Structure 1
Amino acid sequence: MTAALAADAEWAQIFTDRRRSLPFRVGICVLAGVTIGAFVDIRLVVLWLGLFLAMQGVEWALGDRVRTRWIGAGVLLITNAVIGAPVLVEIQTFGVWGAVVAIALLAGTLTIGAAGARSSGLAYLMVLIPSAVYLALIPWFAWRQGATGRDVFLMAVNDPLLVMSSFVAWRASARALLGEAAARARAERADEAKSAFVALVGHELRTPISAMLAGVAEAGKARSPAEAAAHLRLIDDAGRMMRTLLNDLLDLSKLEAGRLAVVCEPFDPRRLLAETEAFWAPEARARGLGFEVVGAAALPPALLGDGVRIRQILNNLLSNALKFTTDGAVTLVVTVTPGADTALQLGLTVIDTGPGLTADQAQGLFNPFHQAHAGVARTHGGTGLGLSISRDLARLMAGDLTLATRPGEGCAFTFTSPFAAAPPLEAVDVVARPPAGLRILLADDHEVNRRAFALMLGPVAAELVCVADGEAALRAANDGDFDLILLDLNMPRMGGLEAARLLTARAGGPPILALTASVACEDIAACTAAGMVGFIAKPVEPAELYAAIEAALAA
């Protein structure tokens, strides 16, 4: 039924196009009639023009109101039969030369008709059949008019070549139209997706921003330290929510551009799972759910891979499981099996006792911005990016993320990937913060950023100089003696990279850290090439800032 409706719509478009070109067809046929009328019985010309104009009137009346392709096909067949009829008169009147002119006219009719048939094979046949019949009759009429056998043979051979040429022209036109239609459909879908994306992100941003504004307003009215602390926790939660959204959007952008890479470095899988359990167990208890990690003891002490991205995948899966489970428990099952060569196949399965999904709901669940049904975003929030990003990350690790589910039986998301075992990691002492009394130079073009970093650096800085661009940072570095320099990469007049190259050209300068919202591999490489010893990704938390400073000072 859908295909039939599409075909009828195409016929309506064909007749709309023919309606637009009607003046051209009428002009050509009137000119042809006047020319032929000088040599043949004028009554034949008048009869032919009358039939032609009658069919054009029918087409004009139909316009884009053609509701079935069969009506359109009949009208088009009769019209083309009428248009080609004068070629037989031309042969009777002008002999062999009339046959040549007739062939040329039919070639033009076929070419124009093929282009006007759009991508409809039926419409093309309605153009082809009358012209092909006339082409087949021309050699016979020419022979009757005294043409030589050679001329008749050449005409007969020429006819199928004209038909083939018109077919090639129609196919090329049809492909171009189909390609244009597909491109238009893609553009419309992209436009719809963009609009939906803007609306979705706008909704997701309004929630934490509203929470921040409310927390700030109420914190000033707090009647006790405990009440003020509650408002500050609200602001902190809202900030983390915004950071998660921003990270998801950046990850999706990098994945689509092929610019996101996973690292291969030793990490402790047991510690990773223990920290994950410690993070999510309180959330599960608060919701009245059980939470358990099974099989972690089988893990080796260290693996080679990207522990940060594995943690991101687990957090996405556990967040979804707890979000959609109202009764029962969430279980993280760990499996380790021998893989190819010396690799181990690690499996992490998050099982919940939620409502599960139907086959239709599960379809497309790993697509960006997809929600299982319309009420998910309204009830639970979220952008629908987590599962898409998690699967792409799994595949970057030569693994995969799969789903097993049935309605009423919960969901089981399984991440699998090969990893190589690594030597056990040495215990590292965790430094809470760098030593106090540092002299720090900070360059950032946004005042809000400078104020935020000043708050975080206050406990460790004896002297903090804040400037707004790279040129000011150079002047401040010349005038003062600093232990550390923090440079934003994108600043007016002079960016952080150029300032870093000039600063590091001097012998004995302080270490320089980059402040950046982009942590793409090429950006990090540019920072290193400019002489920076590390980078701090925005938005940043105090602990991350202190760790980066400690590493820079140690280097």
Structure 2
Amino acid sequence: MSRLVRDVMTDAPVVSPDTSGEFVYDLFSDDKDLLVVAVVQDGQPVGMVSRDRFFVKMADRHGRALFSKRPVTFLMNKDPLLVEASTPIAELNMLIVRDRPSALMEGFLITRNGDYCGVGTALDLFRETSRESAERSHKLSALAEQLGHARIEALAASKAKSEFLATMSHEIRTPLNGVLGVAQLLMSTELNDEQTEFVRVINDSGQILLRLLNDVLDLSKIEAGKMDLDIQVFDPHRMAADARTLWQARAREKAIGFSIEVQAGKDDRFEGDPVRLKQVLFNLVSNAIKFTETGSVDVEMGFHAIGRRRHVMRVEVRDTGCGVPEAAQTKLFSAFTQADAETTRAHGGTGLGLTICKRLVELMGGTIGFRTTAGQGSTFWFEVPLKRDIAEPAPAAGTPEPVQAALPAGGVRILVAEDIAVNRAVARGFLNLRGYEADFVENGAAALEAVQAQHYDLVLMDMEMPVMDGLQATAAIRALPGPAGQVPIVALTANALSSARTRCREAGMNDVVTKPINQAEFFGAIDACLGDPAKRQTSAAA
């Protein structure tokens, strides 16, 4: 609360206009701390005598003889600064600085509704201002301390949230690895039509759960500012082909049309994050197909030059679906929001997809929006600034490498370190598809002993195990002399955070495969590590 003038008011001797100068002289002489005497008539202030001005006049050559017997009106300031007691001190300070700086030396009279009630001096004003400043400083210090505590609590809460999500992700991915792994293994066996449909439902349901889990993790990373972009050169035609391959079958199942057109030269390449661009594109296409029962979904990718190398990538996804109700349009990009309860019941989902799309597009420096007509369809679009690659045409980053032929399994020996029985069963099933021989251990310490006891061509290492975890075991293996210390190691982890991949690399692992295990990714990592069969046999002989 701001201080008022009444807070600096002090009592002072009050004299009438006909009081003699000698009487005032005695007042000042008797009280060496007295600075001001008020001159009041009929309750109204008419003047003020300040100590310094009074003694200057009295000290004149004939001052005392001249003014001692005369009324004080000859000595007083007839136009003192008058201030109402309810005036804020800040306003008084401004008034003195702007109009009456002399009041700092002489003081001022304080009134209440025009009647005299006290005096104020520069000393009183300075004391109160200093006190107020000290109180404000104390409050600011207390506030800073509270903010410091709040920041520490917020950081702790954020860390706890991250740890909770990492733990939950790990715990959910572990059973998901069993569900999706066994589903993939079943698909590679001979099944009748009914069994094939059952397995497809299991796999599709598991993939939906995995996608929801990934959405929550992505949103958490974006909110924590830990989402990093991986800028690469990419081919927009390849991106369109990937989208066409992925979603054509789904559109065909719903008997709706699906097309994707790229307005760019055949050899045009751009610099951006192809993984995140695909994530936004695929999410919009997925939504469009999900909410369209008749008609078509059409995608247009355009690249518009805004400089010599700078372009804007604009993607529009048009559908003939149900559209977005007007009541839901303002909150469509909010987390955990869908158009309405009926939409959630009919189509499922958490409503995170569009939120993540918006955050990713903004992270890439772009914008996202939509146009819609209820019952007729919607057009969702996003624009992202990119640089055009001016290097010689080359295989674009992010373009899948040619699939290598499966390497002969003869003579290959693999060690799997995994403490959970379900994950061991999935790994064994995948390896059996290639005819690989494998030994299994349940912790890192046993893995370390095994690679010292005999030769292995590859170690598949879980990150989190009892006794000794995968990171510790990898570091210990890398410290071994000879071929044992050089054995390729691939991490199998349910930790999907990018920091986990970094820790695996730093520990000396060659590659990382995230659970639930994807068959193509799994064998791709194995083939990359085993390399040329001839070299493998030479290594084994050594």
TM-score by length of 2: 0.63
Q: 1:450 to 1:318 in 2, by over 3 A?
A: same
- Give the CA deviation at 1:302: 4.0
Q: What is the aligned partner in structure 1 of residue 388 from structure 2?
A: 420
For 1:157-176, list aligned pairs within 5 A.
158=124
- 1:435 maps to 408
Q: Is the 8 A contact 1:434 1:547 kept in 2?
A: no
Q: How far apart in 1 are the matches of 2:88 and 2:249?
A: 81
Structure 2: 5+ residue runs without aligned partners? Answer: 1-5, 14-30, 32-84, 90-108, 533-542
Q: What is the SS of the residue equivalent to 1:491?
A: coil
Question: How many Å separate the matches in 2 of 1:159 and 1:531?
Answer: 71
Contact 1:346 1:416 in 2 (8 A): yes
1:466: which partner in 2?
A: 440
SS at match of 1:354: coil
Say whether residues 1:278 and 2:248 are aligned partners. Answer: no
**Equivalent residue in structure 1 for 2:256, among 279, 283, 289:** 289
User: Could you tell me how far 1:162 is from its partner in structure 2?
Assistant: 5.3
In 1, are the aligned partners of 2:336 and 2:352 still within 8 Å (CA)?
Answer: yes
Equivalent residue, structure 2, for 1:351: 318
Match of 1:504 in 2: 478
Q: Following superposition of structure 1 onto structure 2, how do residues 30-429 of structure 1 map, counting pairs within 5 Å? A: 152-154=119-121, 158=124, 225-295=192-262, 298=265, 300=267, 302-357=269-324, 360-417=327-384, 418-421=386-389, 423-425=393-395, 428-429=401-402
Report the secondary structure of 1:486's partner residue.
Answer: strand
1:448 equivalent in structure 2: 422
Measure the CA separation in 2 of the matches of 1:391 and 1:142: 65
Structure 1 CA distance for aligned equivalents of residues 374 and 300 of structure 2: 21
Against the structure 1 CA distance between its residues 356 and 380, is the aligned structure 2 distance closer, same or farther, given a 3 Å change threshold? same
Aligned equivalents of 1:226 and 1:397: distance in 2? Answer: 45
Asked whether the 8 Å contact 2:443–2:467 carries over to 1, the reply is: yes
Partners of 2:264 and 2:302 within 8 A in 1? no
Give 1:260 shift: 2.0
How big is each residue's C-alpha offset from its partner over 1:379-424, in whole Å with a ceiling of 9 and x where there is no partner? 3211111112222222333333332334455322223221433523
Q: Give 3-state SS (helix, strand or coil) of 1:431's partner.
A: coil
Deviation of the 1:514 alpha carbon: 1.4
Amino acid at match of 2:521: E
Corresponding residue number in structure 2 for 1:524 = 501
Closer, same or farther: CA 228–153 of 1 in aligned 2, 3 Å: closer
CA contact (8 A) 2:110 2:116 kept: no
- The aligned counterpart of 2:460 is 486
Structure with the bigger percentage of helix: 1
CA-atom RMSD in angstroms? 4.7
What residue ranges of structure 1 are gaps of 5+ in the alignment?
1-83, 97-127, 144-151
Q: Select 1:537's aligned residue among 514, 527, 537.
A: 514
Contact 1:273–1:296 (CA under 8 A) maintained in structure 2: no
* Equivalent position of 1:106 in the other structure: none
Q: Note closer, same or farther for the CA distance 1:153–1:255 as it changes in structure 2 (3 Å cut).
A: closer
TM-score scaled by length of structure 1:
0.61
Using the TM superposition, give the Cα deviation of residue 350 of structure 1 relative to its aligned residue in structure 2, in angstroms. 0.6
Greater relative contact order (CA < 8 Å, ≥ 6 in sequence): 2
Per the alignment, do residues 243 and 361 of structure 1 end up closer, same or farther by CA in structure 2, a change over 3 Å counting?
Answer: same
- The CA deviation at 1:252 is 1.5
| 1:295–1:334 Cα contact (<8 Å) kept | yes
Report the CA distance between 1:137 and its aligned residue: 6.5
CA drift of 1:246 comes to: 1.7
Percent pairwise identity: 34
The CA deviation at 1:160 is 10
Number of equivalent positions: 410
Partner of 2:469: 495
Q: Distance in 2 between matches of 1:504 and 1:416?
A: 46
Q: Deviations over 1:246-273 (max 9, x none)?
A: 2112212222222222223343322321
Q: 2: distance between equivalents of 1:529 and 1:349?
A: 41
Contact 1:259 1:520 in 2 (8 A): no
Q: Which amino acid aligns with 1:320?
A: N
| C-alpha distance in 2 between matches for 1:170 and 1:266 | 56
Report which stretch shifted further, 502-511 or 484-493.
Answer: 502-511
Sort the Cα spacing of 1:141 and 1:159 in 2 relative to 1 into closer, same or farther, 3 A. Answer: farther
Structure 1 position 316, deviation (Å): 0.6
Contact kept in structure 1, 2:237 and 2:262, CA below 8 Å:
no
Does the CA contact (< 8 Å) of 2:110 and 2:117 recur in 1?
no
CA contact (8 A) 1:299 1:336 kept: no
Give the number of the structure whose alpha-carbon radius of gyration is greater.
2
Distance 1:161 1:510, change over 3 A: same
From the superposition, tell whether residues 419 and 360 of structure 1 become closer, same or farther in structure 2 (CA, over 3 Å): farther
What is the CA-CA distance between 1:303 and the residue it aligns to?
3.6
- C-alpha distance after superposition, 1:15-67 (max 9, x if no partner): xxxxxxxxxxxxxxxxxxxxxxxxxxxxxxxxxxxxxxxxxxxxxxxxxxxxx
Structure 1, 234-243 or 402-411: larger mean CA deviation? 402-411
Distance 1:239 1:337 in 2: 39
